[in-house]
Amino acid sequence: MQSRLPDPSADERAHSDRLLQLLREQIASHGPLPFSQYMERCLYAPGLGYYSAGKAKFGAAGDFITAPELGELFARCVVNAVQPVLAMLGDEADFLELGGGSGAFAEAALNALAAAGTLPRSYLILEPSADLRERQRERLRMNLPTELNARVQWLDRPPEQDWQGVLFANEVIDALPTTRFTVLGGEVYEEHVALDGEGHLLRIDRPADALVAGAVRHVERDLGATFADGYRSEILPQLPYWIQAVAGSLSAGLLLFVDYGYVRREFYLPERDDGTLMAHYRHRSHNDPFYLPGLNDLTASVDFTALAEAGNHAGFGVAGYLPQAQFLIAAGLQDVFEHAQAQVADEHSRYRLAQQVKRLMLPDQMGERFQAMLLARGIDVLPLPAELLAADQGGRL
């Protein structure tokens, strides 16, 4: 499969080799790395990881395209859906975006929030990658009016003081370093990355610790069945702690997560017996996490039942769960699209807007592969669009 993937430049290969060397040294001195730690280094090792180094990543010149990168329609719909919550919370409400990517969402969302008259007190961005932070800063400085740009602040860590408002994250949970597990002879094992005699990376299974084994047993109990021998998949045992860390200080407001994934019984289908791990390299998807480490994005789908449980655990109730296509319709995509069409004069721009809608909506593109989950707390009657509540599929969780 690797032969079908485009070749890296000599510089890119040298960059990947530096990360590979670092991984080899770590494994040689500390022993095999749990897969989650391997993925963490591949994505976030300072200066070398996929998100920490200066690669293009998003858009046509990168490796994949996200909904905010397609154009402004997605962000305008998200703003339609959440702005009644911001309006209800009043002048003190903030908007916190996790993982701002190229800054495309922040730019479109701030313009839409200003147009709706519901600008948050601050637009906060929590972005672990110093490289992406810089790109976001530059993009917003260049493209936003000064009074909007002045509301943007980058955080080094989640807010520690209680706050109110909306937390939004598109395609962030799929980028959290995932644990890979398997079940062998009735016991839970965790996938690790080791070295063979020639220094090549290789995957091995070691008995899981209590945290991983407990998380896998919880899924089995919830599904009412044990995993077949040799079944292999992903799990995020740290998800409840992560939600608590990023949203624990939100005293009143809404969390909105959009990502690709499934409810638990679809995530752990018996036939999906090698999990959902994917690598993305220049718009090709493949499943070899050892191919050019640091140059590939590594992701795993989201178990939305686990996200709901983690939210509940942190004191949030599920306010809505629905496929992206239905979320966008309920959030007024038709009007947003017609308005955007009326603003452009040339055929090419109209065509591009229509293409954007297709990518966002078609079931085999983002429409049904992506889901939106809304979690709320501290609000008696949540002012969400009636269409959104009507389309809720939370019962499937």
Interaction site with ligand SAM (CB under 6 A): 51, 58, 66, 68-69, 98-101, 105, 126-129, 132, 170-172, 175
For 81-96, the DSSP string reads HHHHHHHHHGGG-EEE
Cβ nearer to ligand SAM, comparing 32 with 71: 71
Q: Are 82 and 89 in contact (CB under 8 A)?
A: no
Q: Decide whether 174 or 205 has the Cβ nearer to ligand SAM.
A: 174
- For the CB of residue 188, give the shortest distance to ligand SAM in the complex, in Å: 25
Q: How far is CA 94 from the centre of its chain?
A: 21
Place of tokens 């610790």: 209
Residues in CB range of 34: below 8 A, 6 or more apart: 179, 190, 191, 192, 193
* Dihedral angle sign, alpha carbons of residues 194, 200, 201, 205: negative
Is 58 or 316 the residue whose CB approaches ligand SAM more closely? 58
Pick the closest to residue 376 from 222, 255, 244 (CA basis): 255
Residue with smaller CB distance to ligand SAM, 85 or 172: 172
Phi and psi of 280, rounded to 5°? -125, 125
User: Which residue's CB comes closest to ligand SAM?
Assistant: 99
Nearer to ligand SAM, 27 or 39 (CB): 39
* Least distance in angstroms from the C-beta of 126 to ligand SAM: 5
d(CA 32, CA 27): 5
Cβ 83 to ligand SAM shortest distance, Å: 19
Residue 336 structure tokens: 């947003």
Minimum Å distance from CB 42 to ligand SAM? 12
What is the smallest separation between the CB atom of 301 and ligand SAM, expressed in angstroms? 13
Q: Rounded to the nearest whole angstrom, what is the least distance from the CB of residue 107 to ligand SAM in the complex?
A: 11
If the CB atoms of residues 175 and 250 are measured against ligand SAM, the closer one turns out to be: 175
